[in-house]
Structure 1
Amino acid sequence: MFAVWSYKSKKGEQSCVDSNDDFVLPTKLEFLEDSVSNRTHDCRTDVRVVSHDSKDVDLDDISRILKSKFTSPEAVFAALDHCSVKISEGLVNTILKRFSNDWVPAFGFFIWAGTQIGYKHSSDSYDMIVDILGKSKQFDVMWGLIDEMVRLGGLVSVTTMTKVMRRLAGACRWNEAIKTFHNIEQFGVKKDTLAMNILLDTLCKERSIKHAIHVFLELRNEIPPNASSFNVIIHGWCKARKLEEAWQTMKEMRKFGFNPCVITYTSLIEAYCMEKNFRMVDAILDEMHTHGCPPNIVTYTIIMHALGKAKETHEALKFFDKMKKDGCTPDTSFYNSLIYIVGRAGKLCDANVIYEEMCKKGISPNVNTYNTLISTACDHSQEESALKLLLKMEESSCKPNIKTYTPLLKLCCKKKWTKILLYLLAHMFKKDISLDLSTYTLLVHGLCQNGKLDKASLFFEEMVSKGFIPKEHTYDIMIRALERGNMERAKAKVQQLMVQAQSMKQSGHHFMAKHQIG
């Protein structure tokens, strides 16, 4: 269990914070004390799990190796060459989750694991590494791996190609995503309405409604669209704030014999909520009732959340009564929005009351519930409450995600709590959460702002070593802070790292060909 931590004040009292960051690790922590206190000079916190389970020991051994700095997957392969752990699908997938934002160790480990006697990668493991490579924009390596999956047979699925198309579109390679769909049958995946809708959804979510419309008009005579096809396009227009086009698509939807449903109307309502046009929201709600299509809990949650953001707390709470009249039962997402609304209004006690109420009613809090509560507590400098919520998550077996830790890390940077920051990073790693570009950016900015330049420099270096390219704004903040601190040597290193980041090239394709799996 995630043990409670404490801080010693000058009078010996136990409280949650101390201006001197006097961090005291309890004896029952899952991490050995040296994972934080003996390694505060190094951001790459060594995580050692106290466990007699051989699986945990194997996981810990591999993790320590992979947290070293590697310039290529081949170097990772060589480092693992004499590792004697027992490979399993569970172990592989956990490692891939832990290093999901660090493609070099993830891919090197994946190839090495695939060469171990008595083990073969599952399709799920292949899909995970395909996604990691795509997220890291290692597209040549990704395609080489997919060719290998085709050669081995039975590994490429619609899930695989969904990940490929989403990552290509996410990198603004929209034409390549479309080409992938056109060639999808070469990979043994059926080119049907489901696959078409996935492509349309991908293009719309990556803010390329124009490409989505072009594809839709091109394909709808070849592949019959369904109601979902039109709903995806309408949602795309709504995300792009092109509401006239959304209404026009709804007319075309009717011409094809599909009546607008609650999903259709909810997309429009969400768009008008973004515009803060709540009169139009009311008009659409009236139309829904007129056409015998009452709003559902998702519709009401979106409206309440938007009103809360607009600081229309009283109006937001009115929709609770309207929702009950429509026979909608509150769910977890609804309570999450309610917590967000009262928390944003500064009513932290009320937010906690709502949390307790949903638990009493048998509605299980999810990660978004805790994220909202933690974020609200951090926004109001209620650090003790925020840390206790992290403990509650552990007790309720609710797995955190990176958004759980973001406000806590931000608060640590603001308060200059370095030891707690490193502890939280270790806890993230234990929970298989890999730092992404946004988190590194937050850490560098926050530490620079509070004069922790040595730590900021280490995070900047680690960010580059993982293949991330720092934003120009982050680089400028780092350089200016080092100049103010007269840290010329550190400044020169950061400048060198930025050049290295901008010139990084893909380096895994040849390595994969050399170490074929299967």
Structure 2
Amino acid sequence: MATAKPDNPVHPPPLAIGGEPSPAPFVLGPNDPRVRSLCDILTHTPTTELERVLSSCGIVPVPELVEAVLCHSYSSPASAVQFFRWSGRSLKHTPRAWNLMVDILGRNSLFDAMWDAIRSMKQEGGVLSTATFASAFGSYCAAGKIKEAVMTFEVMDRYGVSQDIVAVNSLLSAICRQDGRTADAADFFDRIKTRVPPDADTFAILFEGWEKEGNTARAKTTFGEMIIRVGWNSNNMSAYDAFLNTLVRASQPQEALKFLTVMKSNNCLPGLRFFSNALEILVKHNDANHALALWDIMVTGSGLVPDLVMFNAMISLLCNNQKIDFAFRFLDEMPFYGAFPDSLTYNAIFECLVRNKRAREAELFFREMKKNEQPLTPSNCAAAIRMFFDQFDPAAALEVWSYLMEELMIPDNESANEVLLGLAEFGRLSFATRYAEDMFNRGIELRFTVIEKLKNSFQKAGKLDCYNRITRKMKQQ
């Protein structure tokens, strides 16, 4: 197929066939002085003067120079035609130069001129190829002329080019690139499949179209036909990926899991691309149950190796769904896959323990984090301090604060306010005084509600003088 191009590109990708880009031939770069000079002539010279200026410019056209100039002439099709004719008087154009000319004309919807070029290529002999027609398919489809693209396929054999599976796939791909036109591609496929047997690429192209359009019903039908016609083959990963992605994106994860189970039994499990995409979608939908089932099918006994990003996504999802025991299981499994937990991993689990008020486990896990040099986030510090005070463990709360100040050196306002609130609630007013003075020295700001709480606590204890000392210190900052 011809690689899709934007309107009037400056430098198009190499022409391609069979659904994959062709290797790029040697092409002179735009900084070559001859290329710059000729492109400047084509851009700024009136067409009536163009041949005279080209003939007097002193530049001798050679094949790679002609190809380079044509690559930069998509926005000037009339000038490109004249340049092509002028250079053709001095050399025999390469097949690539001819194909570029066909592509320039087609991309500018100059279809009559495009066909004139194709007929001239036939007369030249040996320059027409599937790539030529793939370019025509792409141009017609980009212009919304699907019927004309199909008619172009039907006349290929008259020009000595085989209507083989590469040509079929090129046309299917060109149609499927257009929004909402996969049904037209499927109609063409239904008409041609008895004449030209499909291959795995054929179905992969259709699946990508159904995936883009979210058409799960047609995707399932196409999947059934693929199994009948080409069977199970572990090399068809792109087809399996696109089909399963269609189901997952359409919020049918249960259906995707059913097909996955069947695929696995036939040794045709998709690869990490699908696994990663599907996991991302399930995380976005906060669907922990289906994510767990997906993980078990994809990883258990398959040889697939999930990476740190995937583990972190899974652990965060499990923690968000209160499945902390599963999260610990994944944490323990990570080293076996060469994925070592980082601060994101640890903070997700710690935040879940704090949120669920599992104080003893949070305290032990916090110490493990310190041992492994995995820093807590400031928000997790503040939440942990609040939780530890609520769970009657002020020592653990102050341990977190000390860690924050001594090891992370972060003057966190939120954590500081939680420390003073907790100390006031526990009646630890001497501690509150000492910590408050240290906080003021660090430039930490206290909320009004915290100051009022301190005032009430000191007043009840008959220690307003201590409170006044704190406020004087605060005003000095």
- TM-score, length of structure 2 as denominator length: 0.50
Higher normalized contact order (CA 8 Å, seq sep 6+, divided by chain length): 1
Q: TM-score, normalised by structure 1?
A: 0.46
